[in-house]
């Protein structure tokens, strides 16, 4: 298995940008063998969201490996915080799981004044699922072709260039914040609840950070130009697009990821069994193809590796979020 430079954890393939969003709760079963008690897995975003889609894609083969039904319970709100708080209160009886994200177990602790749960204290890590990168895009008529072009223009016109993203505190937003910090530039952030890329196409925004899969059709049609991706490695879906890091900013990396957690105190045997089932599922070529079609990079690994990822995220985000000057109630 290829090693990622991100925390030295396993990684394969390309990335799925995991957009954070809000939505209504739904409850739906994932097909699996009818053996044993059903397992409920809380997904902290709305049904049909990218996180929810990914959860359902991986839950089915994991359930098959376990020989149990996995029920998806959508609890949307507060960037995943509503679902995380609910999951933290579920009984640690070996029948409850949580589909966590870089937001619920990293960014939110620095972004929200009142979180309602403790990412490190209230959960036992089970297994990482996938990581994902964003892509910096500009309009097809823009004179920005490289990161250096953007930085040069921003330095010449401080507080003038407009950057769109999927909303305050999302990984696309913080991709721009980190670039501003490392390049010592000031731009104007414009948060969107819909696709910022449409205003990039129309020329109303100078640039935006988008998920690779959502931006790909617009890149392929020539409506926008891809300038850089936010991982340390290029992505398979856009192999010709260099990373921010290789364009003069070594160490630059913003990744979204998802992983499976259990409420604190869950039986160790349960955690190990779900971990083993997850790793087996992630080795299945059929699942790998489905994930690759979504632009997803499988991770897998041990519970301890996921714990290390959470620890890393909780340490890295406070300074970045502070520099964005954004907090949520």
Q: Is the pLDDT of residue 269 over 70?
A: yes
Mapped onto helix, strand or coil, the DSSP state of residue 53 is helix
What pLDDT is recorded for position 206? 97
Residue-wise pLDDT tens digits, 180-237: 999 999 999 998 866 799 999 999 999 999 988 788 899 999 999 999 999 988 988 8
**Lowest model confidence (mean pLDDT) among 10-14, 19-23, 91-95, 193-197:** 19-23
Q: What pLDDT is attached to residue 275?
A: 98
Q: Which pLDDT belongs to residue 31?
A: 42
Give yes or no for residue 288 having a pLDDT over 50: yes
The tokens describing 3, both together, are: 């090693």
Query: Is the four-CA dihedral 216, 218, 223, 229 of positive or negative sign?
Result: negative
Residues 6+ apart with CB under 8 A from 15: 130, 131, 132, 133, 212, 231, 235, 255, 295, 296, 297
The domain defined by 27-131+255-324 carries CATH number 3.40.190.150 = yes
Q: What is the sign of the dihedral through the CA atoms of 248, 15, 275 and 309?
A: positive
pLDDT band, very low/low/confident/very high, at 328 (cuts 50, 70, 90): confident
Mean pLDDT rounded to a whole number for the chain:
87
CATH class of 134-247: alpha beta
pLDDT at 214: 81
pLDDT tens for 36-88 read 689 999 999 999 888 899 999 999 999 999 999 999 999 999 889 999 999 99
Identical fold at 27-131+255-324 and 134-247? yes
Reply yes or no on whether the pLDDT at 294 is more than 70.
Answer: yes
Cα separation, 28 vs 71, in Å, equals 6
Whole-prediction pTM value? 0.82
User: How many Å apart are CA 224 and CA 145, to the nearest integer?
Assistant: 11
Per-residue pLDDT of 118-155, as tens digits, reads 999 999 999 999 988 899 999 999 999 999 999 999 99
At residue 3, the pLDDT reads 40
Whose tokens are 């036992």? That residue is 124
Give the model's pLDDT for residue 170: 87
Distance CA 35, CA 45 (A): 28
88 neighbors 263 (Cβ within 8 angstroms): yes
- What pLDDT is recorded for position 255? 86
Domain boundaries, the chain: 27-131+255-324, 134-247
User: pLDDT tens digit string along 84-112?
Assistant: 999 999 999 999 999 999 999 999 999 99
Cα gap 154→151, rounded to integer Å: 5
How far is residue 241 CA from its own chain's centroid?
A: 20
128: nearest Cα among 254, 15, 2, 261? 261
Q: What was the pLDDT predicted at 34? A: 40
pLDDT top residue among 132 and 312:
312
Q: How confident is the model at residue 163 (pLDDT cuts 50, 70, 90)?
A: very high
pLDDT attached to residue 195: 79
- Sheet with 188-191: list strands edge to edge: 188-191, 162-165, 207-211, 134-139, 224-229
Q: How far apart are CA 239 and CA 235, in angstroms?
A: 6
């Amino acid at each position: 298995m290829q090693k990622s430079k991100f925390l030295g954890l396993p990684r394969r393939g390309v990335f799925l940008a995991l957009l954070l969003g809000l939505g209504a709760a739904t409850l739906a079963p994932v097909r699996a063998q009818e053996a044993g008690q059903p397992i409920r897995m809380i997904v902290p975003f709305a049904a049909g969201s990218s996180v929810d889609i990914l959860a359902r894609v991986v839950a089915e083969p994991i359930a098959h490996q376990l020989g149990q039904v996995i029920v998806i319970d959508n609890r949307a709100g507060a960037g995943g915080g509503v679902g995380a708080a609910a999951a933290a209160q579920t009984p640690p009886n070996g029948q409850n799981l949580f589909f966590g994200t870089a937001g619920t177990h990293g960014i939110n602790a620095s972004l929200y004044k009142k979180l309602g749960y403790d990412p490190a204290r209230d959960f036992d890590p089970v297994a990482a699922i996938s990581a994902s990168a964003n892509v910096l895009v500009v309009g097809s008529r823009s004179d920005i072709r490289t990161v250096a072009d953007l930085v040069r223009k921003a330095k010449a016109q401080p507080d003038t260039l407009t950057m769109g993203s999927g909303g305050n505190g999302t990984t696309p937003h913080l991709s721009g914040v980190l670039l501003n910090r490392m390049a010592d530039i000031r731009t104007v952030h414009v948060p969107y609840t819909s696709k910022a890329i449409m205003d990039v196409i129309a020329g109303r925004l100078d640039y935006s950070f988008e998920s690779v899969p959502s931006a790909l059709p617009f890149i392929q049609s020539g409506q926008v130009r891809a300038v850089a991706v936010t991982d340390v490695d290029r992505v398979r879906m856009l192999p010709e697009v260099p990373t921010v890091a290789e364009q003069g900013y070594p160490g630059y990396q913003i990744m979204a990821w998802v992983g499976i957690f259990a409420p604190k105190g869950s039986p160790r045997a349960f955690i190990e069994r779900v971990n083993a089932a997850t790793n087996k599922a992630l080795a299945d070529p059929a699942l790998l193809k489905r994930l690759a079609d979504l632009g997803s990079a499988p991770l897998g690994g041990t519970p301890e590796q996921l714990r290390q990822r959470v620890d890393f995220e909780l340490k890295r985000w406070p300074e970045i979020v502070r520099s964005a000057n954004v907090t949520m109630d």
